[in-house]
A and B are shown apart, each in its own frame.
Chain A
Amino acid sequence: MRDLVLMWRNTRMVVLCAISGALYAAVLVPFKVVPLIPGVTELRPANAIPVVCSFLFGPAAAWGTAIGNVIGDFFGGVGPGDIFGFLANLAYGYVPYKVWNALAGGRNPIARSPLSIGCYVTACLLASMQCADIVGWGENLLALRPFSVMGNVIVFNNLLASLALAPFLLYAIYPRVCRGRMLYQDMMPELRAMPRAVQLAGLALLAFGVFGAWVAGNLVSTGYWEPAFLPLRMVQAPYDGAVAVVVSPFILVSALGLGLM
């Protein structure tokens, strides 16, 4: 995750971070008035922007997504859960290009080969689930909203935007940005990728953590799984203690995996 720190030294990356955040917020805020589940989430076509920006601007897009989400949250109500929203969106902007690099290396993300499409779908799926896991885990930890509501609505929302909208935007924008030499690789040539074996190990940990957190979070927060090793007072609604104990290790594993990539 060195790139997340290094990018702040580069003025162009700072500007691209602000632009990513502003673009995200600019689409996010008008759709605040179209709630899917009022008070929980709204229709978010804006969720296509972080994926597109991630492939273009890498770490700048990750921070930009987190900032854009904060701006959007100010218009739907900020709260302690927004700390998790910030981290979740940071991951949502960070995971796609990291997973793409681990799976497809330096390949062009707009190539239409089955392999590229598979890598793209994997990157979007892991990013969407990582984002949903962090928000669902955090909000259930604070007992504000159940994991099973947030975790599933966010996966649906993110996947819909990243699979149905983002490819069109990416297909139109990527070649232009590439020609203008404004990709993050052009801006920060000093960035060095980890050895491929380490990247793949990181990817495996990320996938294990992300899927594990999602499954465990859903089972525990709906009461379908009552872990026998937990005291009885923890295994009852709102399941904040149970979610903390069961889901947190998976979240840590996914963060470790991301760090290795």
Chain B
Amino acid sequence: MPIYLYLDRETFLHRLNPSVKVFALFVMFWSVYWVDQPLALVPLGVLLVAAAEFTDSWPNFWRLRWLFALVILFTTLAWMVFYRRGPAVANLGIIHLSHASLLFGFGRGLKLAELLATSVLFLSVTKVEELTEGLTKLGVPYRAGFAIMLAFRLAPLFIDSAVTVAQAQRLRGYQFDRGGPLERIRRYVPVMIPVFMGALRKANNMAVALETRGFGRNARPTSLAEYPTRWPDVAACVVLAGLAAGYFLIYYAGYGAIAAN
């Protein structure tokens, strides 16, 4: 699985201010949260599909297609076990199959799938630096934002390093696929040790390099990339605020709920 989902395109959503993108993420969470009824979730789904088409993010969605299907299926089943409301249509053991439990479970599954789609879309149009910038603008301390960015950058390097060590071990005749599942996982411990130690060796040099560039100073650092706020950002914020308000009104008016019986 690739660690970066960013797709370099020249679209309106790619050019939005990072803070607006983080705000959009929040608005999607907010909107999805207030409604349970699957029908009320459909407009958000349509919006996400349109955004995926507009930003040409389909390769990322296609890569995760099974995850989407499984999320919906298993969430529906899980809630049919615990949401035992409404008259049962059929007796399926621990699964309470009723109109209400099916609707509730499917609604939850759809909710989680839409949240997954939101995160895929967000990562498809947002670089790691933009995410950090957006978080910093929204009040996350600079050092925390920097640590997030550095972790995002280092993770693929560590994966590459682990793959290299695993290949070297295989060449020496080490077998990773012997034994049961736990034994197989345990056999990766010798791979983790050099990756861990290599990472720690980098840590000291990295800290020195950062401090020589003034990281330890208290002043607010400047950034090479500037993200000014333009009128499309303001327009996007207005539309997003409208969407958030609209979904709260759907909840408030009672259209987002599921009747239990």
Contacts and interface: CB of A to CB of B under 8 A. Distances in A.
Interface of A: 8, 11-12, 14-19, 21-23, 25-27, 29-30, 32-33, 35, 37-40, 45, 52, 63-64, 67-68, 70-71, 73-80, 142-146, 148-149, 160, 164-165, 168-169, 172-173, 176-177, 180, 182, 221-223, 236-238
A30 B1 contact: yes
A142 B33 contact: yes
Contacts of A223: 82, 84
Interface in B136-158: 141, 143-144, 146-148, 150-158
Contacts of B32: 79-80
B1 A33 contact: yes
Given A11-B216, A146-B78, A165 B185 contact: yes
Given A22-B155, A30-B159, A12 B200 contact: no
B82 A221 contact: yes
Contacts of A177: 200
A162 to B, nearest CB: 13
Interface of A is mostly: helix
Interface of B: 1, 3, 5, 25, 29, 32-33, 36, 67, 70-75, 78-79, 82-85, 104, 108-109, 111-113, 115-120, 122-123, 141, 143-144, 146-148, 150-159, 162, 182, 185-186, 188-189, 192-193, 195-197, 199-200, 202-204, 206-207, 210-211, 215-216, 260
Given A80-B29, A145-B78, A165-B189, A12 B143 contact: no
A23 B109 CA distance: 30
Contacts of A149: 78, 82
A138 to B, nearest CB: 13
Most chain A CB inside 10 Å of its own CB: which residue of B116, B146, B162, B210: B116
A15 B6 CA distance: 24
B151 A25 contact: yes
Contacts of A18: 146-148, 150-151, 154
Q: Which 5 A-B pairs have the closest CB atoms?
A: A77-B116, A38-B70, A22-B154, A21-B151, A39-B71
B211 A11 contact: yes
Contact of B158 (A11, A26, A143, A173): A26
Given A22-B151, A180-B200, 12 more contacts: A11-B207, A15-B150, A19-B202, A39-B75, A71-B148, A71-B152, A77-B67, A80-B32, A143-B108, A146-B82, A165-B186, A238-B104
Given A146-B78, A148-B82, A168 B151 contact: no
A222 B227 CA distance: 49
Contacts of B67: 32, 38-39, 76-77
A164 B85 contact: no
Contacts of B210: 11, 14-15
Contacts of B189: 165, 168-169, 172
Contacts of A29: 1, 3, 155, 159
